[in-house]
């Protein structure tokens, strides 16, 4: 069992708290990505995994989000989403060139790669007004036009990356707020 975190980074202008439309643990947000099996075989097509769709796999893994048999080695692997580990990408993070962890993936037999954004996102303008239904598809970014004397807002340079979960604490080590969040979520003894 290996844990991966999906990270998002982007340049946010006059906007903050970029996250899936229903929040970081949005049950319907579709995580679309490819799989690399332990035998080295890579899936040609992406899979779609959501928190709300679960399958029974075994007594050890009774509630997983994807069960898939590799076409090459015929072994079965699973992917399980772990909610409660992510937080939105803030303007502060963006300015520092940092990424935010969105979701943890507990992977058995597979490594996730090549995330594609195909679900909707939300964010907030600098003045706190929500911006809904943001489409980050095709990596073209997103622009919210200025209106009634209000400033416009933009998202550019969007990047997604799966990283092995053991790097999380090193990535966040210099950010006290993040550490506090992680301590609260994981319990101090695991840091
Ligand atoms: Zn395989």
Segments making up each domain of the chain, as ranges: 2-165
Handedness of CA 36, 158, 31, 24 (dihedral sign): positive
- Across the range 57-70, mean pLDDT stands at 93
Other C-beta atoms closer than 10 Å to the C-beta of 62 total 10
Instruction: Please provide residue 30's backbone torsions phi and psi, each rounded to the nearest 5 degrees.
Output: -95, 110
Residues near ion ligand 1 (CB < 5 Å) are 37, 39, 41, 70, 72-73
- In the predicted model, is pLDDT for residue 173 greater than 50? no
Query: In this predicted model, what pLDDT tens digit does every residue of 144-165 receive, in sequence order?
Result: 877 777 778 899 999 999 999 8
For residue 73, how far is its CA from the centre of ligand 1 (angstroms)? Answer: 4
Question: pLDDT grade, residue 191 (50/70/90)?
Answer: very low
**Tell me, what's the pLDDT at 188?**
47
Nearest to 88 by CA among 141, 147, 131, 49: 131
Task: Supply angle C-alpha 51, 6, 152, rounded to 5.
Answer: 95
**Tell me, what's the pLDDT at 180?**
57
- In the predicted model, is pLDDT for residue 85 greater than 60? yes
For residue 36, how far is its CA from the centre of ligand 1 (angstroms)? Answer: 8
For residue 8, how far is its CA from the centre of ligand 1 (angstroms)? Answer: 28
Please provide the average confidence, as pLDDT, over all residues in the chain: 87
Question: What value does the CA radius of gyration of the chain take, rounded to a whole number of Å?
Answer: 18
- Across the range 85-97, mean pLDDT stands at 95
For residue 111, how far is its CA from the centre of ligand 1 (angstroms)? Answer: 11
Nearest to 6 by CA among 44, 38, 51, 42: 51
In whole angstroms, give the CA distance from residue 94 to residue 16. Answer: 9
For residue 30, how far is its CA from the centre of ligand 1 (angstroms)? Answer: 24
- In the predicted model, is pLDDT for residue 119 greater than 50? yes
**Tell me, what's the pLDDT at 115?**
96
For residue 7, how far is its CA from the centre of ligand 1 (angstroms)? Answer: 26
């Amino acid at each position: 069992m290996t844990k991966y975190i999906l990270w998002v980074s982007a340049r946010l202008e006059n906007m903050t708290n970029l996250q899936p439309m229903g929040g970081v643990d949005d049950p319907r947000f579709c995580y679309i990505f490819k799989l690399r099996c332990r035998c080295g075989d890579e899936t040609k097509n992406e899979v779609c995994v959501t928190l709300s769709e679960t399958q029974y796999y075994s007594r050890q893994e009774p509630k997983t989000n994807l069960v898939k048999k590799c076409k090459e080695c015929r072994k079965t692997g699973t992917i399980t989403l772990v909610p409660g580990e992510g937080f939105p990408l803030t303007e502060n993070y963006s300015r520092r060139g940092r990424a935010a962890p969105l979701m943890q993936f507990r992977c058995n037999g597979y490594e996730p790669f090549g995330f594609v954004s195909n679900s909707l996102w939300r964010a907030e303008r600098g003045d706190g007004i929500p911006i809904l239904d943001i489409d980050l598809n095709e990596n073209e970014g997103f622009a919210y036009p200025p209106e009634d004397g209000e400033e416009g807002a933009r998202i550019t340079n969007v990047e997604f990356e799966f990283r092995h979960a053991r790097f999380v604490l090193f990535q966040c080590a210099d950010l006290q707020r993040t550490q506090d969040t992680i301590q609260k979520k994981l319990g101090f003894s695991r840091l």
